Structure 1
Amino acid sequence: MNTVTKPLWSYDVQKTEQWLTDQAKVGYHLKELHRFKRGFTFEKGNPKDVTYRIGYDKIKPATLSNTMRNDGWEKVTQSGKWYIIANERPQAEVNTSTSRDAIIMRNNFIFYAFMAILIYITGATLANVALITTATIASDGNVEVVESPLWIITYTAAALTTAFYVFMVYSVWKIKKTNKALSNENSTTHTLEEKSLAEVNEKQLKREDILIKRRKFGWMYSPDKLEKWLEQMAAEGNRLHRISKLGTTFYFRKGEPQHIKYSADYQNLSNDTYFEIHRQAGWKDEFSSKGALQKWTIWSKEYEEGETPPALYSDKTHKLKQAKKVALSYTVLFLPLVLMYLFIASVNIGYMFRKEEAWTLHDTNTIMFFICILVFGTFITKTWMYYFRLRRA
């Protein structure tokens, strides 16, 4: 028996699966997974071609469906909610696999937790730097450093905090990359030829003045207004053609007036099941944001004149609950920044009126802080206005 430790194996399950397959090819076959020790135990044997898949399931112990068993899958080991299955059939003959939804949701939870910690540490660091800078400027650069036998504690804490910060930055980047790869496993991709053809057709439509472009910045803070605008454009004969990757540019094709219902839906965690349910109900996803903190999807569904406009959700209170979730999410995201900038600006404003020098870079920074307060405060206000509009309705 041989045990190999891989501390961050769960950050990239696809790479870990390929590593397990490579181990089997040289005669080391997986026997046990150690969740807390972050290790894998192998047994030496004959080289084999084995396909491994890693799953995550809240139900313990995880069980395989009859379909997967008939397809050649067998569970090798399980530790906690993690389990690993193997298949000795040729990959071309394997038609089933494990679902990635649970792993993506787990990764997203870690992603959001690390992002919150990163924002807090970054904000605290910027606040301290601003205070030190202000104090230095106010004292005309005369700063006295007091020696202390406890500096070793400060340096050690600073080194550990820096290392932890770098680790979280790496974790956020790696998890985002892994989730994108997992989400794209079963998705269909366009060939380069199809993409080039679409670009040529779009340029032709622009030359013929059939394709028009409009920009909408910050629509996610007032999604109900975006929905009404898109529906009005469709009623005027401008059907939505596509939305840019950033979600700020909207392309429309001129044509006959149509009755189309649009719905901007906010989801903290979305997966393939979420999209499949709405697609089966006749909805078309026009846009889906790629950001980790803003999971917006714009849906559309055409209906005939005289029909009741369709609703994305049958529960009439869902839209109000969603609006409250949007307001709370953006408040949690922007309010700490507003308070931090407000504190820094309030400290700096007194110095601006006390100093005798002309306009300095320090004054420009203070004005920038007030602009940030205004911008982020506007975002928070717009989301709560959106919530109260729906509640009144």
Structure 2
Amino acid sequence: MRIFKPFWSLNIKNIENWLSKKALEGYILKDVNLLLRLFIFEKGEESNINYRISFEKRGITELQPSLIKNGWYKACSKGRWFFLANEKNLEDIKAQPSREPLLSRFKIAQILLSLIPIYLSVNIGIFLIILIPMIIFYFLGIGDITFIKEVSPEKIQHIETSYFTLLDILNVVKALGIIALFIYPLYRLRKNESQIKEELDSDYVKFDGEYVSEKEGSLQEHRKLIEKRCPSFLEPDKLEKWLEDMEAKGFNLYKVKKGNMKFYFTKGAPRKIRYILDFQNNPTAAYYEIFKLDQWELAYTVGTLPVKWSLWSKEYTDERPNIYSNKEEQVANAKKMALTYSAFYLPTIAIISYSIIKVFILLISDISRTIEVLPYMIFIVLFLVSILFLFCFPYSKIISFYIRAKGREY
């Protein structure tokens, strides 16, 4: 029996449960055709089989001895995909296939699938920046809107009229349609990631909420909390120094509020605490465990795909601790941060800059007409420049941090 499952890789947990259900019906998995998205079954005896789908590193062709010892065997394997089966009861299985490579694949897939929607969203945003003022002026009776086949000086007769081609509108509709096509796979990948993390043991650290000190204060103490806005997370060295200076002055970190990035302190005794804001693309359970074993405390995590910041703290008396073993490792992490943010900021900055250049070319192409609508064109230019600044300013902080990291003594 062959069953077509076109989106199976977006529904890993559901597929695993489905394979177990088919085994209970007497259909045992024998092969998978990745190209045609076909699952091939052989009719046999009804069996209670637990399935796990794993995505292994390149070069791995056999199961680990610990998995074989616990009853796991290959139902089939294709490339880096392994379809594992186990006939033991789930509670008797002490070792499970690693989920880390699969989670990493989900992360990479989400990043790649997000690039096109982000690019199209920026283009739509720029179009709306121009369209919305025109609509406002239209309803205020200041101007009119006319659709033409193509824009040219010969066809533009009235300067008070805003001209649009039908192609402009169709491009926006097409972009929205393409974005909609990416919503489902992105949603499924995100849900798959959450489902797989939920099945992992409690050692898999997942901090996505507000940080509150272990010292649970009374309502009166809460009223005495001192609220401070921190330096930008895009300048980790400045934020670390600011937090350490606050502790040295007797302002003990109590709470970090999620969303608005506000830090709350209580007034107490001065402390020597080392703070490190570490950047990671895809932190794993092992990443958090290493820090915990070295007595670091996770104060806060923030970030969305593909960026994840972790704020670590450690009290000390003599030598100031560090999580990096040498300067090269520190610079490499700063470089990774710069490259990750560049992948988002640079294309966006280029698109906005291109739009500004197009507006300037339009302005100088017909000076007399430009003078007639100068206030409106100035508004458009200033609006685009302000949007450009909103992207250039934080990006400059990232590059500045990388430059400081290269020049800083370890």
Query: 1:151 matched to which residue of 2?
Result: none
Query: 1:323 matched to which residue of 2?
Result: 334
> For the aligned residues, what is the CA RMSD?
3.7
CA change 1:108–1:77 in 2 (3 A) is same
- Aligned counterparts of 1:158 and 1:225: Cα–Cα separation in 2: 42
- Aligned counterparts of 1:134 and 1:339: Cα–Cα separation in 2: 23
CA change 1:377–1:79 in 2 (3 A) is same
The answer on 1:213 being equivalent to 2:212 is no
Query: 2:275 matched to which residue of 1?
Result: 262
For the 8 Å contact 2:213–2:253, the answer to whether it is kept is: no
- Aligned counterparts of 1:122 and 1:6: Cα–Cα separation in 2: 31
Query: Higher mean Cα deviation, 15-24 or 248-257?
Result: 248-257
Query: 1:171 matched to which residue of 2?
Result: 185
Cα shift at 1:174: 2.2
- Aligned counterparts of 2:272 and 2:213: Cα–Cα separation in 1: 26
Question: Per-residue CA shift, 1:64-96, capped at 9, x if unaligned?
Answer: 233222222222110110001112222222222
Cα shift at 1:364: 5.1
- Aligned counterparts of 1:322 and 1:290: Cα–Cα separation in 2: 16
CA change 1:214–1:128 in 2 (3 A) is closer
CA change 1:252–1:14 in 2 (3 A) is farther
SS of match in other structure, 1:221: coil
CA change 1:60–1:325 in 2 (3 A) is closer
The answer on 1:50 being equivalent to 2:84 is no
- Aligned counterparts of 1:344 and 1:203: Cα–Cα separation in 2: 55
Query: 1:13 matched to which residue of 2?
Result: 12
Query: 1:109 matched to which residue of 2?
Result: 108
Query: 2:311 matched to which residue of 1?
Result: 298
- Aligned counterparts of 2:218 and 2:21: Cα–Cα separation in 1: 47
For the 8 Å contact 2:119–2:348, the answer to whether it is kept is: no
For the 8 Å contact 1:327–1:383, the answer to whether it is kept is: yes
Query: 2:294 matched to which residue of 1?
Result: 281
- Aligned counterparts of 1:69 and 1:233: Cα–Cα separation in 2: 53
The answer on 1:250 being equivalent to 2:263 is yes
CA change 1:27–1:255 in 2 (3 A) is farther
Question: Per-residue CA shift, 1:38-74, capped at 9, x if unaligned?
Answer: 2211122232222111111124553223322222222
TM-score, length basis structure 2 = 0.79
- Aligned counterparts of 1:155 and 1:377: Cα–Cα separation in 2: 29
- Aligned counterparts of 1:260 and 1:61: Cα–Cα separation in 2: 43
For the 8 Å contact 1:206–1:212, the answer to whether it is kept is: no
Question: Per-residue CA shift, 1:14-45, capped at 9, x if unaligned?
Answer: 12111111212222221112222222111222
Query: 1:375 matched to which residue of 2?
Result: 390
Cα shift at 1:312: 0.5
Give the partner amino acid of 1:297: S
Query: Higher mean Cα deviation, 329-338 or 69-78?
Result: 329-338
CA change 1:341–1:59 in 2 (3 A) is closer
Cα shift at 1:237: 2.7
Give the partner amino acid of 1:19: W
Question: Which of 222, 234, 245 is 2:235 aligned to?
Answer: 222
CA change 1:133–1:344 in 2 (3 A) is farther
For the 8 Å contact 1:345–1:366, the answer to whether it is kept is: yes
Query: 2:352 matched to which residue of 1?
Result: 341
- Aligned counterparts of 2:38 and 2:124: Cα–Cα separation in 1: 36
- Aligned counterparts of 1:378 and 1:327: Cα–Cα separation in 2: 14
CA change 1:208–1:133 in 2 (3 A) is closer
Query: Higher mean Cα deviation, 340-349 or 12-21?
Result: 340-349
Give the partner amino acid of 2:279: Y
Cα shift at 1:155: 12
Give the partner amino acid of 2:400: M
CA change 1:42–1:60 in 2 (3 A) is farther
Give the partner amino acid of 1:372: I
Identity, % of aligned positions: 26
The answer on 1:354 being equivalent to 2:370 is yes
CA change 1:290–1:343 in 2 (3 A) is closer
SS of match in other structure, 2:199: coil
CA change 1:199–1:264 in 2 (3 A) is closer
Cα shift at 1:273: 1.8
For the 8 Å contact 1:134–1:348, the answer to whether it is kept is: no
Cα shift at 1:376: 1.0
For the 8 Å contact 1:61–1:78, the answer to whether it is kept is: no
Count the aligned residue pairs.
Answer: 376
Give the partner amino acid of 1:94: I
- Aligned counterparts of 1:345 and 1:17: Cα–Cα separation in 2: 51
Cα shift at 1:101: 0.8
Question: Per-residue CA shift, 1:145-192, capped at 9, x if unaligned?
Answer: 37xxxxxxx9999998765432323222322232233234325399xx
CA change 1:244–1:7 in 2 (3 A) is farther
Query: 1:332 matched to which residue of 2?
Result: 343
SS of match in other structure, 1:47: coil
For the 8 Å contact 1:31–1:76, the answer to whether it is kept is: yes
TM-score, length basis structure 1 = 0.82
- Aligned counterparts of 1:169 and 1:181: Cα–Cα separation in 2: 18
For the 8 Å contact 2:124–2:172, the answer to whether it is kept is: no
Query: 2:160 matched to which residue of 1?
Result: none
Query: 2:320 matched to which residue of 1?
Result: 309
Give the partner amino acid of 1:68: L
CA change 1:44–1:163 in 2 (3 A) is farther
SS of match in other structure, 1:329: helix
- Aligned counterparts of 1:157 and 1:376: Cα–Cα separation in 2: 24
Structure 1 runs not aligned, ≥5 long: 147-153
Query: 2:84 matched to which residue of 1?
Result: 85
